[in-house]
Structure 1
Amino acid sequence: MKTNIITLLVVAATLTFTSTSIAQKDFQGKAYYQSKTTMDMNFGDRQISEERKKEIADRMKSFLEKTYTLAFNKSESMYKEDEKLETPGQGGGRGGRFAAMMGAANGSQYKNIKDSLFLQENELLGKNFLVNDNLKALDWKMSGETKQIGQYTAFKATAMKEASTAGFSPRPGGPRGGNNDQASKDDVKPEEPKMVEVTAWYTMQIPVNQGPGKFWGLPGLILEVHEGNTSILCTKIEINSDNSETIKRPSKGKKVTQEEYNKITKEKMEEMSERFQGRGNRGGGRN
């Protein structure tokens, strides 16, 4: 009990200083995040050597480990994936093309808390889309548990949400053709929606309702998120620095809802899968 009182006093003292900065008319900041997703290397009945598993993991690394920047002010934010050069050998082959298509969903994400607006610019097979939806609020449960993240006191919150999916789960290596037609058809399987628990850690020392990706709605900036096999960790924060940027509402692309975009992505992946199966049967599974 005594420890909790001391923690709250420290937070209150810090908030007095922070609130002065937040109250500034042109308050803005940047938070930098690292995202890491682990991949289940269980291939069922398939006999795959450890060397092959390592090769698959190396190819998928650029899609499983990413860095992002969240620019934010009192009511808006823009979450962007940092651009980086692809390592030679990563993302190649049919499996790489499937993963690249899935990665097309990772465009810049704009959130406006005041207008309850979510926008995301996506490019899919050369066509630009603008996902236009209302912000979806999670039913956060506060636990009162705290921990230190860098110089910030972070509070724990949990919520249940539908698991994030790209609509399909391509098997590593992609379709390879051959006589087993059923095996080729199974190379891409639809994923059933399921609920997962999200754990978030936020700090009231930066009292904005923002966070990475679609996560928001807590009484402070979200510094850490754990959802299923994905973790997002904040590595650096800048407040009212010379490196701040003006947040501009996206406008490029055909306007669609998230549901409509998911349907389009699913259809395109089905077409892509059928095309690869045809090539594999004709060409003996050449890469």
Structure 2
Amino acid sequence: MRRLLILLITSVVYSQHPTSGVVEYTIEATSSEITNEIAKVGKNNSEQKALLEMFSNDPALFILEFNGNEAIYKNAKNVMQSEAINKKKPRFLEVYAGGDAVFYSDSLEKNSLIQQNSVGELFLISSKFPEWELTNETKKIGNYTCFKAKYISKNGNRNSIDEIWYTPEIPVQFGPNKYIGFPGLVIEVIAGKIRFTATKIQLNSQQTIIIEKPVKGKKITEEGYKKILEKAADELGF
């Protein structure tokens, strides 16, 4: 699949240490392997057509807003009043990137909240910032020198490795989805065959950014939420 031209990252910077900002992230597949596998389902197949639509090449768009030590990350259709965006059907990339969940993070308290609709109920899931493996490996993304971090998680009998690139040149601990707590803004994430890319960065604009901490939903820890999902899966026979 095509890769976005990440060199087109734009930024507006009025001070060395940003206190607020808005970042647009696009989420896309890193290769054509997914659609190639779907194509094997069979020609003139309605299921194939539905799958291809779900795994469309069109990237998903999410917005990160931050002010001081607080940030919110959510689907662009929940931020932008765009009829074209709002009419789009949910797709795999959109669901993977966060769906309709609201991600709140506090870099001072080192904790996060996810407001998530699941199994017919609204949850408010709390967790601490993840622990990342930081490295000295660097690369240039647009105008920024970025450092690599890794996260290794178990997926069944296999380990999956997420590759995160952040820049200390923008010293805030925020990023897309669960990718928070780094010594700089997250510019790119490669998680399996999915890539998150910061394609537009606006810092310290004159527009007032208000971060509203989510409060509605059943309060639960991340571990407690996982147990609820496991129980629901067992009841459905998965």
TM-score interval (norm. to shorter) = 0.7 to 0.9
Structure 2: distance between partners of 1:78 and 1:148 = 23
- The residue aligned with 1:228 is 192
User: 2-side partners of 1:33 and 1:41: how far apart?
Assistant: 25
Matched, 1:148 2:141: yes
Q: Does 1:76 align with 2:70?
A: yes
Summarize the Cα distance change of 1:231–1:195 in structure 2 as closer, same or farther, 3 Å threshold.
same
Distance (whole Å) between structure 1 residues aligned to residue 182 and residue 105 of structure 2:
14
Q: Pick closer, same or farther for the CA change 1:268–1:62 going to 2, 3 Å.
A: farther
Q: Distance in 2 between matches of 1:225 and 1:243?
A: 28
- Mean Cα deviation higher: 61-70 or 125-134: 61-70
Which of the two has greater strand per residue?
Answer: 2
Kindly report which structure 2 residues correspond to 1:199-238, keeping only aligned pairs within 5 A, or say none: 199-238=163-202
Paired residue secondary structure (2:86): coil
Q: Which residue of 2 aligns with 1:61?
A: 55
**Aligned pair 1:266/2:192, yes or no?**
no
1:139 Cα deviation after fit: 1.8
Pairwise CA distance, 1:260: 1.8
Residue in 2 aligned with 1:85? 86
Q: Could you list the per-position Cα deviations for residues 122-156 of structure 1 after superposition, in whole angstroms to 9, with x for gaps in the alignment?
A: 1124421100111112122121x22132xx32313
TM-score in terms of structure 1 length? 0.63
**In the TM superposition, what are the counterparts of 1:6-45 in structure 2 within 5 Å?**
18-19=15-16, 21-22=17-18, 27-37=19-29, 39=34, 42=37
Residue deviations 1:73-130 (CA, integer Å, cap 9, x gap): 332211111223344xx56xxxx9x999999875111111211111000112442110
Query: Structure 1, residues 254-284: CA drift from partner, whole Å, max 9, x if none?
Result: 011122212222333454568xxxxxxxxxx
Of 112, 128, 139, the match for 2:133: 139
Q: 1:229 to 1:102 in 2, by over 3 A?
A: closer
Contact 1:18–1:206 (8 Å) recurs in 2: no
Equivalent of 2:115 in 117, 121, 126: 121
Of structures 1 and 2, the larger Rg is shown by 1
Percentage of matched positions with identical amino acids: 24
User: Aligned to 1:262, what secondary structure does the other structure show?
Assistant: helix
Q: Give the drift of 1:30.
A: 0.7
The 5-angstrom pairing of residues 136-215 of structure 1 reads 136-143=130-137, 145-149=138-142, 152-162=143-153, 192=156, 194-215=158-179
Is the alpha carbon distance of 1:252 and 1:193 closer, same or farther for their aligned partners in structure 2, counting shifts above 3 Å?
Answer: farther
Deviation per residue, 1:221-274 (Å, 9 max, x gap):
111111111100111111122444211221110011122212222333454568
Aligned to 1:13: none
Distance 1:101 1:28, change over 3 A: closer
Could you tell me how far apart the structure 1 residues matched to 2:150 and 2:192 are?
12
SS at match of 1:212: coil
Contact 1:105 1:123 in 2 (8 A): no
Residue 55 of structure 1: CA displacement?
A: 0.9
Cα distance in 1 between the residues matched to 2:167 and 2:97:
30
Instruction: Provide closer, same or farther for how the CA distance between residues 141 and 238 of structure 1 changes in structure 2, counting only shifts above 3 A.
Output: same
The number of equivalent residue pairs is 215
CA distance in 2, matches of 1:103, 1:74: 24
Question: What is the alpha-carbon distance in structure 1 between the residues aligned to residue 86 and residue 128 of structure 2?
Answer: 33
The two structures have a TM-score, normalised by structure 2, of 0.74
Specify the alignment match of 2:221 in structure 1.
Answer: 257
Residue 121 of structure 1: SS of its match in structure 2?
Answer: strand
- Paired with 1:69 and 1:229, the residues of 2 have a C-alpha distance of 21
